[in-house]
Structure 1
Amino acid sequence: MRYFMDISYRGTNYSGWQTQPNGVTVQEEIEKAISTVLQTETPITGSGRTDAGVHAIQQVAHFDADNIETEKLVFKLNSFLGTDISVNGIRPVKDEVSARFEATFRKYHYHLHQAKDPFKTGLSYYFRPELNVELINEGCEIIKGWQNFECFSKVHTEVNHFNCDIFQAKWTQDGTNHLFEITANRFLRGMVRAIVGTLIDVGLGKTSLEELSLILQSNDRSMAGRAVPAEGLFLQEVIYPEDIYID
Structure 2
Amino acid sequence: MQRFFMEVSYDGSLYHGWQVQKNAVSVQQRINEALAKILRTTVETIGAGRTDTGVHAKQLYVHFDIKAGLIPDEDRFLHAINSLLPSDIAALRLVEVHQDAHARFDAVERSYAYHIHFRKDPFLIRRSWQLRDYPDVARMNEAAHYLLGTQDFGCFSKSNTQVFTNICTVKRAEWVENEEGLVFHITADRFLRNMVRAIVGTLLDIGQKRKEPLSMVAVIQSKDRAQAGTSVPAHGLYLTRVVYPYMQ
TM over 0.5: yes
Provide the rounded CA distance (Å) in 2 between the counterparts of 1:43 and 1:174.
39
Q: Deviations over 1:184-221 (max 9, x none)?
A: 00000000000000000010011212322111111111
SS of the residue 1:196 aligns to: helix
Provide the rounded CA distance (Å) in 2 between the counterparts of 1:12 and 1:29.
14
> Aligned-pair RMSD on alpha carbons?
1.2
Provide the rounded CA distance (Å) in 1 between the counterparts of 2:193 and 2:242.
16
**TM-score for both structures, normalised by structure 2:** 0.96
* 1:137 matches 2:137: no
Query: Which residue does the alignment assign to 1:37?
Result: 38
**Residue identity in the other structure for 1:33:** A
Provide the rounded CA distance (Å) in 1 between the counterparts of 2:180 and 2:35.
41
Query: Which residue does the alignment assign to 1:20?
Result: 21
The answer on whether the counterparts of 2:149 and 2:171 sit within 8 Å (CA) in structure 1 is: no
* Equivalent runs, 1:65-80 vs 2, <5 Å: 65=66, 66-67=68-69, 68=71, 69-80=73-84
Query: Which residue does the alignment assign to 1:156?
Result: 160
Provide the rounded CA distance (Å) in 1 between the counterparts of 2:49 and 2:75.
25
C-alpha displacement of 1:175: 4.8
* Equivalent runs, 1:166-185 vs 2, <5 Å: 166-175=170-179, 177-185=181-189
SS of the residue 2:206 aligns to: helix
* 1:186 matches 2:190: yes
The answer on whether the counterparts of 2:143 and 2:214 sit within 8 Å (CA) in structure 1 is: no
Greater mean alpha carbon deviation, residues 52-61 or residues 137-146? 137-146
Structure 2 residue runs without a partner (length 5+): none
Query: Which residue does the alignment assign to 2:132?
Result: 128
* Equivalent runs, 1:162-241 vs 2, <5 Å: 162-175=166-179, 177-241=181-245
Query: Which residue does the alignment assign to 1:7?
Result: 8
* 1:53 matches 2:54: yes
Aligned length: 244
Provide the rounded CA distance (Å) in 1 between the counterparts of 2:183 and 2:162.
30
**TM-score for both structures, normalised by structure 1:** 0.96
Provide the rounded CA distance (Å) in 1 between the counterparts of 2:81 and 2:180.
38
Provide the rounded CA distance (Å) in 1 between the counterparts of 2:191 and 2:102.
17
The verdict on how the C-alpha distance between 1:176 and 1:3 changes in structure 2, with shifts beyond 3 A counting, is closer
The verdict on how the C-alpha distance between 1:218 and 1:117 changes in structure 2, with shifts beyond 3 A counting, is same
SS of the residue 1:59 aligns to: strand
Structure 1 residue runs without a partner (length 5+): none
SS of the residue 1:18 aligns to: coil
The verdict on how the C-alpha distance between 1:175 and 1:37 changes in structure 2, with shifts beyond 3 A counting, is closer
Provide the rounded CA distance (Å) in 1 between the counterparts of 2:82 and 2:235.
24
Percent sequence identity over aligned pairs: 42
Provide the rounded CA distance (Å) in 1 between the counterparts of 2:244 and 2:36.
26
